[in-house]
Amino acid sequence: MRAVHRTVPAPGVLGVELARVPAGEPLELDLRLESVVEGVLVSGTVTAPVAGECARCLGPVVDRAVVDVQELFAYEVSATEETTEEDEVGRLVGDLVDLEPVVRDAVVLALPLAPLCRDDCRGLCPDCGGVLDELPAEHSHAPPVDPRWAALAERAGPIRTVSTESQE
Ligand SMILES: [Zn+2]
Ligand SMILES: [Zn+2]
């Protein structure tokens, strides 16, 4: 068994629509390499910085993803190597394992589809698009209603549209 701690740059942008690990950002790998009968079992965690946009207010989201990974890499000459496809079980090439696809898949799957800047982010005002958390609490677009008109409107019921086209 061997413990490996390594920091590697992200291989390109890893991401989904609203959240991503920018290319070149450091991915921290904390892994254990275990020799098993058929090959090498790699397990541990990947920690990656996540940048994104809040799904409600589109403000910046800065987060960190910690992802568990586990993958068996089979020896080049082994029963596992003979009985599985390469995309099911990884292969050792000489004494190297290619962790990139494993790390890439694990990180992308762990990214939030709808990241939030804060759990209680109130999002945008549906009328003006302003950020509600930055607007005064009483922010509203409803015109101030004169109480006398309000009473009248209630009695009159919904206003009917009247055609203004001339009918000759
Ligand atoms: Zn937000
Ligand atoms: Zn508004």
Phi-psi domain of 129 (left: phi exceeds 0; alpha: psi -120 through 50; beta: other): left
The yes-or-no verdict on residue 165 having pLDDT over 60 is no
Which amino acid type is present at position 83?
T
Compute, in angstroms, the gap from residue 38 CA to the centroid of ligand 2. Answer: 63
Q: How far is CA 64 from the centre of its chain?
A: 11
Q: What percent of the chain has pLDDT over 70?
A: 86
The yes-or-no verdict on residue 15 having pLDDT over 60 is yes
Compute, in angstroms, the gap from residue 144 CA to the centroid of ligand 2. Answer: 14
90 in Cβ contact with 71 (< 8 Å): yes
Instruction: Give me the pLDDT at residue 76, please.
Output: 81
Q: How far apart are CA 121 and CA 22, in angstroms?
A: 24
**For the CA of 129, the nearest ligand:** 2
Q: How far apart are CA 108 and CA 60, in angstroms?
A: 19
Compute, in angstroms, the gap from residue 157 CA to the centroid of ligand 2. Answer: 27
153 pLDDT band, cuts 50/70/90, is low
85 in Cβ contact with 68 (< 8 Å): no
Q: Could you tell me where the beta strands, DSSP code E, fall in the chain?
A: 2-9, 14-15, 19-21, 26-36, 39-53, 60-74, 90-91
The yes-or-no verdict on residue 29 having pLDDT over 80 is yes
Taking CA atoms, 100 is separated from 9, 50, 103, in Å, by 11, 18, 5
Instruction: Give me the pLDDT at residue 161, please.
Output: 52
3-class SS of residue 87: coil
Q: How far apart are CA 108 and CA 100, in angstroms?
A: 12
Instruction: Give me the pLDDT at residue 84, please.
Output: 82
Q: How far apart are CA 65 and CA 9, in angstroms?
A: 15
Instruction: Give me the pLDDT at residue 164, please.
Output: 53
The yes-or-no verdict on residue 131 having pLDDT over 80 is yes
Instruction: Give me the pLDDT at residue 10, please.
Output: 93
The yes-or-no verdict on residue 162 having pLDDT over 70 is no
Compute, in angstroms, the gap from residue 23 CA to the centroid of ligand 1. Answer: 24
**For the CA of 130, the nearest ligand:** 2
Q: How many CA atoms lie within 13 A of 99 on its CB side?
A: 26
